[in-house]
Amino acid sequence: MRTRLAVGVAVLALLVQAAPASAAGPLKSITKRYVGSAVAVQHLNAEADYRAVLTREFDSVTPENEMKWGTVEAVRGQYDWSGADAIVDYARRTGKSVRGHTLVWHSQLPDWVGGLEARELRKVVKNHVFTEAGRYRGKIRAWDVVNEAFNEDGTRRPTVFQEKLGDDYIADAFRWAHQADPKAKLYINDYNIEGLNAKSDATYELVRSLKRKGVPIHGVGIQAHLSLLYGFPSGMKENIARFAALGVDVAITEADVRIPVPVTPEKLDAQAGYFEQVWDACHAVKRCVEFTTWGFTDRHSWVPGVFPGEDAACLFDAELRPKPAYTRLNP
């Protein structure tokens, strides 16, 4: 992952001048939806140009790793809230909302959690939800309560939570989160549920079932990690609309569009088209309330380290210059 040292005020001014907001204004000013980005605290603290563009363009932030269980409680009973606190404090000082990410997820989980017996595991999950959601009570606009619960075929993912606690762990997590922070909007979040398919069908049926049981679920998070190697998801607008018809909000929570290297002008134009289709699909449905990207600059994208041969997935390049995808959203 590429890094860059923080720059002085004079250099920062030149950088921001070189990468101005659109004449229409920053992204956050052109829509009534929340416009957000995932944020890594080390870049927020160390890179003044990164911080300046983030502050200018977005009105919502999602901690990239700082609120995940493996970060906040790697050792049982020993908590590290430093990164999460720093992002929440930054949001407060700059007038931004925070999307909490994530309370119950099988990945980036502390090793000690996986070895617990069912009864103890349930107690530990409940304590984790109450501890984290309670710490930020009133400071988090929305929580990704349960993350990535389904396989591609729509079956339940065999996580430690599913295997030891059964189907009810999801409803329990939402109830606990609501008790810990009654004003936060609570979401189930997943990838590859952008279009109409078996996985989004399963998510739809789960949300409908939870609503019928009176479980406090308020939204569906559609991650929207896309790639030019694959066609654009079929029926995205219709999919968002059917979730909204259940009486919940919908959020685009982690959008990016991977480009197979080498990057060319033609591929950048195709990437812009994908971003525009996601943006338009969200704006076509009133209850699609948020458009958040998983980072905003290729300087710190997660993509090259996870998808060899793909890169350049963000709205801004590594020098924080707006790419065609940005100008397509904000001409």
Provide the pLDDT for residue 58. Answer: 98
Query: Band of the pLDDT at 101, cuts 50, 70, 90?
Result: very high
Helix and strand element counts for the chain (H, E): 14, 10
Does residue 22 register a pLDDT over 70? Answer: no
From 200, 212, 202, 229, select the one nearest 303 (Cα to Cα).
229
Predicted confidence (pLDDT) per residue in 243-252, tens digit: 999 999 999 9
Give the distance, in angstroms, between the CA of residue 94 and the centroid of all CA atoms in the same chain. 19
Query: Band of the pLDDT at 25, cuts 50, 70, 90?
Result: confident
> Residues 154, 196: contact at Cβ < 8 Å?
no
152 is annotated as an active-site residue = no
Q: Which domains does the chain have, with CATH numbers?
A: 22-329 (3.20.20.80)
The one-letter code for the residue type at 214 is: G
- Distance between CA 123 and CA 132 in Å, rounded? 14
Token duo for residue 297? 């600059």
Does residue 9 register a pLDDT over 80? Answer: no
254 is annotated as an active-site residue = yes
Token duo for residue 305? 């380290």
Per the prediction, the chain carries an average pLDDT of: 94
Token duo for residue 50? 């990164």
SS3 142: strand
Q: Report the pLDDT averaged over residues 72-88.
A: 98
What pairs with residue 249 in β-bridges? 219
- Distance between CA 40 and CA 155 in Å, rounded? 32
Question: Alpha-carbon torsion 137, 102, 278, 324, what sign?
Answer: positive
Predicted confidence (pLDDT) per residue in 198-257, tens digit: 999 999 999 999 999 999 999 999 999 999 999 999 999 999 999 999 999 999 999 999
> Residues 224, 254: contact at Cβ < 8 Å?
yes
Instruction: State the pTM of this model.
Output: 0.93
Catalytic residue among 47, 64, 132, 254: 254
- Distance between CA 69 and CA 102 in Å, rounded? 8
Q: How far is CA 271 from CA 9, 37, 126, 184, 261, in A?
A: 33, 18, 41, 33, 13
Query: Band of the pLDDT at 13, cuts 50, 70, 90?
Result: very low
Does residue 20 register a pLDDT over 80? Answer: no
Those residues whose C-beta lies under 8 Å from the C-beta of residue 102, and which sit 6 or more positions away, are 67, 68, 143, 144, 145, 146, 147, 189
- Distance between CA 220 and CA 231 in Å, rounded? 23
Does residue 145 register a pLDDT over 90? Answer: yes
Catalytic residue among 57, 148, 194, 290: 148
